[in-house]
Chains A and B, each alone.
Chain A
Amino acid sequence: MDVIVCVKRVPDTETRIRIGEGGTSIDPAGVKFIISPYDEFAIEAALRTKEGAGAGEVTLISFGDASAQETLRAGLAMGADRGVLLAGEAGMDGLATAKALAAELEGADAPLVLFGVKAADDDQQQVGTMVATLLGRPCATGVSSFQMGDGKVTCQREVEGGLEVLEVDLPAVLTITKGEFEPRYASLKGIMAAKKKPLEQKDAATEAGRISVTKLTYPPERAAGKIVGEGADAVPELVRLLREEAHAL
């Protein structure tokens, strides 16, 4: 079964973020970039779906600049079959990104298109759902596991205070979160093979974004706190402070 996964190149979640010159974007110097961790879950889900079906192809699509090649290669090393780089830039307007991806996916007949539930950089949690809506395909978000059925897919998703089980008609778009799909490591063989896998690059159909970034700022510094004391003996004083000073209890 063919599965398409849309992936994004983001700064490593362990990295420190510095605001770049001009103040409206981050300074990429010295930043290690990775596949967005949620997209890795989606790639793993796609690979398992293909393996379960015993046939098919996993295609990765990334919307971004030329550096996203590296991200696609990393996904190919995990086992995906081919990559497509849609060259373009849409900034903070998720709908503009979604339109570029939807235009590419319009004619694709893969029954399943997967996204990470959100990108670990701008945390918008919207592009996958928008692509589904633009394509008129059913969509389930925040899926932690799923099982393919006949013409439909059964999905489990986390909601506030519980779990939901959804049945979604195919072709469908799912956005994947942490759950069953612990991503595999790329083997050395996989990394070597990835270098020879097809990676197509084309210009995306983009429109001007309608959300403008005025500036980026750092979060407010927290004033240095105090060490109340050592061990259990410090507890009464902590409780007093929480009650009388912080008014938190």
Chain B
Amino acid sequence: MANVLAFAEQRNGEIGGPARETTSVAARVASSLGGEAHALVIGGPGTGAKAADLGRYGAAVIAAAEHEALQDYNPDGYVKVVVDRVRDGAYDAVIFPATTLGKDLAPRVAALLDVPLAGDVTQLDVEGGALSVVRPIYAGKAFAHLTLNAKPALVSIRPNVFQAAENAAAGTVETYSAEVDPGSWGVRVLERKAAGEGALDVAEATIIVSGGRGMKDPSNWPLLEGLSDAIGEGVALGASRAVVDAGWRPHGEQVGQTGKTVSPKLYFAIGISGAIQHLAGMRTSKTIVAVNKDPDAPIFNVADYGIVGDLFDVVPRLTDEIKALKAKG
């Protein structure tokens, strides 16, 4: 049986986009290989019930490993559950999300199973029974086309790139109690601090409002927050390296080669000139809007729509127009 396992990430007990995306990709790979897609979700008691919906995205089986101590991610706790499951299920491939959790977890699984890992892929196909993938390198300045020659083939997929496709399968939920020995863990989470209510990570947002040095001062950011609020849900703030290096914004918001590589549906570059390392990190966005005073700024070479002008005039007007649009419905 050429089955494929999707790691279904839950966060605060909720199954979100990354889980639907890994499950959808696993279903597609499994159908090429002539097997079934299974989803593995790890969490506290009750997690299995919440994951039942993954059947709609192609999971024939949803294995739910539950334990009080696994409610939140712990690398030592989670890795054992995943490795046990992959060994028991003799999977041909395992699909992880390239989220913070997935990037922490997948390399550990790879090392324990002694198989390589292709991380953060943006394209994945089955050719002659082997997985072939594309992953951006140099933060997107080039793409590497790779073939994975090991079994199971381990891959993590970039969030927001693969469609979560509805493709109903049996979706049988098999809940079991995970074997856990917290006393043996070498890493313990002492505390989690939320950045803000419902704050969305820039790598997972569908719309990004990014600011650069043209913003002139960190005290001007409410302007971008206003625009972001007007647009509504799924929006995150981004930043150029210059403003992160200047200490105006946290590194978590940085887009580009020493920050995050993003592919949102809509990217606003506000007061960002477009250094090569920034362009590398956002050029795969579906639609790019640039607002800049300098008509020769390189950002206009990648922008679908540009406005040449003073952002301090343009952004408030843009916020108002979008508010009016949303009010109309």
- Would you call A92 and B144 a contact (CB within 8 A)? yes
Which residues of the partner chain B approach A215 to less than 8 Å between Cβ atoms?
A: 145
Q: Enumerate 28 A-B pairs (CB-CB under 8 Å) in ascending A order.
A: A13-B257, A94-B116, A95-B115, A96-B116, A121-B138, A123-B119, A125-B120, A129-B107, A139-B187, A161-B194, A162-B199, A163-B192, A164-B193, A165-B190, A169-B187, A178-B254, A178-B259, A210-B115, A211-B149, A211-B150, A218-B143, A219-B142, A226-B304, A229-B307, A229-B308, A230-B307, A231-B307, A243-B325
- Would you call B142 and A222 a contact (CB within 8 A)? no
Give the residue of A209, A217, A246 whose beta carbon is less than 8 angstroms from that of B304: A246
Give the residue of A11, A126, A213 whose beta carbon is less than 8 angstroms from that of B107: A126
Which residues of the partner chain B approach A17 to less than 8 Å between Cβ atoms?
A: 138, 141-142
- Would you call B147 and A214 a contact (CB within 8 A)? yes
Interface check B84, CB cutoff 8 A? no
Q: Chain B interface mostly helix, strand, loop or mixed?
A: mixed
Residue of B nearest to A160 (CB): B201
Residues 208-249 of A, flagged 1 when their CB comes within 8 A of B and 0 if not, give 011111111111001011111111101110110111001011
- List the interface of chain A (C-beta within 8 A of B): 11, 13-17, 19, 26, 37-38, 92-96, 98, 120-127, 129-130, 132-134, 137-142, 144, 154, 158-169, 172, 177-179, 209-219, 222, 224-232, 234-236, 238-239, 241-243, 246, 248-249
Which residues of the partner chain B approach A92 to less than 8 Å between Cβ atoms?
A: 118, 144, 146
Interface check B186, CB cutoff 8 A? yes
Give the residue of B196, B266, B303 whose beta carbon is less than 8 angstroms from that of A225: B303
Name the distance in Å between B102's Cβ and chain A's nearest Cβ: 10
Which residues of the partner chain A approach B101 to less than 8 Å between Cβ atoms?
A: 159
- Would you call B104 and A167 a contact (CB within 8 A)? no
- List the interface of chain B (C-beta within 8 A of A): 11, 75-76, 79, 99-101, 103-104, 106-108, 110-112, 114-120, 132, 135-150, 185-196, 198-201, 203-204, 207, 231, 244, 250-252, 254, 257-259, 261, 265-266, 275-277, 283-284, 286-289, 295, 300-310, 313-314, 316-318, 321-322, 325
Contact A26-B142, Cβ < 8 Å, known A126-B119, A130-B111, A239-B321: yes
- Would you call B139 and A123 a contact (CB within 8 A)? yes
- Would you call A231 and B146 a contact (CB within 8 A)? no
Which residues of the partner chain A approach B314 to less than 8 Å between Cβ atoms?
A: 231-232, 234-235
Contact A238-B307, Cβ < 8 Å, known A121-B137, A130-B107, A172-B186: yes
Which residues of the partner chain B approach A210 to less than 8 Å between Cβ atoms?
A: 115-116, 148-150
Give the residue of A125, A162, A209, A249 whose beta carbon is less than 8 angstroms from that of B266: A249
Name the distance in Å between B248's Cβ and chain A's nearest Cβ: 14
Contact A231-B199, Cβ < 8 Å, known A125-B103, A133-B112: no
Which residues of the partner chain A approach B141 to less than 8 Å between Cβ atoms?
A: 16-17, 218-219
Residue of B nearest to A124 (CB): B119
Name the distance in Å between B178's Cβ and chain A's nearest Cβ: 19
Which residues of the partner chain B approach A166 to less than 8 Å between Cβ atoms?
A: 187-190
- Would you call B108 and A154 a contact (CB within 8 A)? no
Which residues of the partner chain B approach A93 to less than 8 Å between Cβ atoms?
A: 116
| A18→B132 CA distance, assembly (Å) | 23
- Would you call A160 and B309 a contact (CB within 8 A)? no
| A133→B80 CA distance, assembly (Å) | 12
Contact A217-B142, Cβ < 8 Å, known A125-B120, A138-B186: yes
Give the residue of B103, B258, B321 whose beta carbon is less than 8 angstroms from that of A120: B258
- Would you call A140 and B107 a contact (CB within 8 A)? no
| A99→B300 CA distance, assembly (Å) | 44
- Would you call B258 and A242 a contact (CB within 8 A)? no
Which residues of the partner chain B approach A159 to less than 8 Å between Cβ atoms?
A: 100-101, 192
Residue of A nearest to B111 (CB): A133
| A218→B138 CA distance, assembly (Å) | 11
Name the distance in Å between B42's Cβ and chain A's nearest Cβ: 16
- Would you call A162 and B325 a contact (CB within 8 A)? no
Contact A123-B300, Cβ < 8 Å, known A134-B111, A162-B199: no
Which residues of the partner chain A approach B120 to less than 8 Å between Cβ atoms?
A: 123-125
- Would you call A230 and B286 a contact (CB within 8 A)? no
Name the distance in Å between A202's Cβ and chain B's nearest Cβ: 23
Residue of B nearest to A243 (CB): B325
| A246→B268 CA distance, assembly (Å) | 13
